Amino acid sequence: MVRRRKHWGWGYEDQQPDHAALEASAATICERLGLPAREPREPVGLEQLALPLPRIEPPRQLAAFSSAGSYERAAHALGKSYVDVVRGFSGDFAHPPDFVCFPRAEFELEQAIEWCSSQRVAAIPFGGGTSVVGGVTPELPSGYNGAVSIDMGAFDRVLEVDPVSRSALIGAGATGPSLEAQLASHGLTLRHYPQSFEFSTLGGWIATRAGGHFATLWTHIEDMLESVRALTPAGAWESRRLPGSGAGVSPDRMLAGSEGVLGVITRAWMRVQPRPRQRSSVGVRFADFAHGAQCVRAISQSGLHPSNLRLLDAGEAALTGAGDGSHALLALAFEGVDHPVSEAMGRAREICREHGGVAGERDGASDSGGDAGQGAGAGGVGSWRSAFLGAPYLRDVLVAIGVMAETFETAITWERFDALHERVIAAAHAALGPEAAHARVQCRFTHVYPDGPAPYFTVIAPARRGSEIEQWLTVKAAVSDAIVAAGGTITHHHAVGRDHRPWYDQQRPELFAAALGALKATTDPAGVMNPGVLIDPLA
């Protein structure tokens, strides 16, 4: 039997805990979060869903690779944000696609795009469906006759490896585990590990400019992008394979972050690397987040480039089992292929000491291969990493037991970070209202640059059962307002989608929006590619 992913949450259908297991988890989780006891609820089953009737049917030329089945429509109706999981859990599928296309080759994809353009039907590229910004939800502006989700799952092969240049041509639908397994047989890795690694795809990463697990240097997918191919309604867009080029505005960069509004990415040549052989990691305690942040700034400006430089505040460290709530924790790690990392680690530890940091007793050093990004941890780093990887599964349980868990990510220059941090935490607490008494608003750095960090806030609070969406909207708006008012970006790596549009529109230059609209009008003259995301089609 084919193992199916849940139509509403993370993981596979057979991974959903039963009621007894949920009850047991509810007690433990509520105690750990300091929340009043919550009674777990059951998700609305597929057979109980009343999906809106399809407005259109697959035409003859698409029928062989399309489905209008309830499972496919529901499973492509939402992404995987907190509010998506709440909606899916409670059977609220207001905007499913009318049908889903599963093209197996470029000519089938071309047929699907052509048909959507000719019928004024929205075409929504779908990779792993892990968007947390409403990027794959067919919630359309008026004037469309229907919506088709285009699932790129069949484009999942590593098609070619160039060991001389160390690049690989990879299909856009390949998920993290699939492309890494294929590259591993060549002794190579893409070394891109977003938290959604298990289900998200190369095409989705490029379309959203995803950020990987590593804190510095090559961690954004576009850093590894050598050339890219997409099919647009106006034809193919393929850039030349080059290690670098000063020939005008970059065609790769114009597709990176295009969020499906220009066309569908089908494959890309990616820069790959041998698997790291040298690793060293350590957890360093700081009295508080502010002292840790000063140290992180010093390391990020030292030219050392650790692979991990994640600072967790005391609450975040405690919640992930990496601390006891009395101190902030810095997860510090170095990785290398060619030369030892001990010297760099030694200097980074010195900088930590200079800033009052206390390193854990055991240094997780290793010179063996293994799974990059998942290496041994020390001083609480291992606990944090397990919690990081298990978090998407835990969130489904939190929704079942009535706990809101939402995240906000941004980036800001160092000189404005303290003010932004204060403002966001205050805004979240104020927006939570009565639930603030039991809430946790925590912060960690996911990525760090010499000129500023990418802070990532987690808000955990008792959900207002029955009005979870209104509660979420209030908190989302308040925190997003605070981020943009403090000078941050509305997104550092989660993308714009539909959910971030109001704040993205404030942040981007007006003239740039007009230029992007003109580009869209060229590649997508009928305005059918993912309408509502990123920019509006020209009127």
Could you tell me which stretch among 40-48, 260-268, 428-436, 453-461 binds ligand FAD (CB under 6 A)? 260-268
Q: Does 537 bind ligand FAD (CB under 6 A)?
A: no
The residue (of 92 and 222) whose beta carbon lies closer to ligand FAD is 222
User: Residue 453: what are its φ and ψ, rounded to 5°?
Assistant: -95, 165
| Sequence letter at residue 216 | T
Out of 29, 35, 152, 319, the residue judged to bind ligand FAD by CB under 6 A: 152
From the centroid of its chain, how far is CA 92? 23
The span from the CA of 138 to the CA of 77, in Å, is 7
The residue (of 126 and 144) whose beta carbon lies closer to ligand FAD is 126
Q: Which residue is nearest to ligand FAD (CB)?
A: 204
Q: Which residue has the tokens 């206390």?
A: 358
The span from the CA of 257 to the CA of 379, in Å, is 36
- Contacts with 37 (C-beta within 8 Å, 6 or more apart), sequence order: 26, 27, 30
Give, as ranges, the residues between 376 and 395 that touch ligand FAD (CB under 6 A): 392
The span from the CA of 487 to the CA of 421, in Å, is 11
Reading the block at residue 4, the tokens are 């199916």
The residue (of 115 and 237) whose beta carbon lies closer to ligand FAD is 237
The span from the CA of 303 to the CA of 2, in Å, is 49
Q: Does 239 bind ligand FAD (CB under 6 A)?
A: no
Build a one-symbol-per-residue string for 462-501: x at contacts with ligand FAD by CB under 6 A, - elsewhere: -------------------------------xxx------
3-state helix, strand, coil in the chain (%, to 5): 35, 20, 45
Build a one-symbol-per-residue string for 99-128: x at contacts with ligand FAD by CB under 6 A, - elsewhere: -------------------------xxxxx
Q: Does 208 bind ligand FAD (CB under 6 A)?
A: yes
* Spatial contact of 107 and 85, defined as CB atoms under 8 Å apart: no
Size of site (CB under 6 A) for ligand FAD: 37
The span from the CA of 120 to the CA of 144, in Å, is 6
Out of 9, 96, 97, 129, the residue judged to bind ligand FAD by CB under 6 A: 129
DSSP letter at 538? Answer: P
Report the nearest approach of ligand FAD to the CB of residue 288 (Å).
Answer: 26
CA angle (191 as vertex; 189, 192 as ends), nearest 5 = 130
Q: Does 200 bind ligand FAD (CB under 6 A)?
A: yes
Out of 194, 357, 373, 453, the residue judged to bind ligand FAD by CB under 6 A: 194
Out of 58, 79, 527, 537, the residue judged to bind ligand FAD by CB under 6 A: 79
Binding-site ranges for ligand FAD (CB under 6 A):
79-80, 124-132, 135-136, 152, 172, 194-196, 200-201, 203-205, 207-208, 210-211, 259-260, 264-265, 392, 493-495, 530, 533
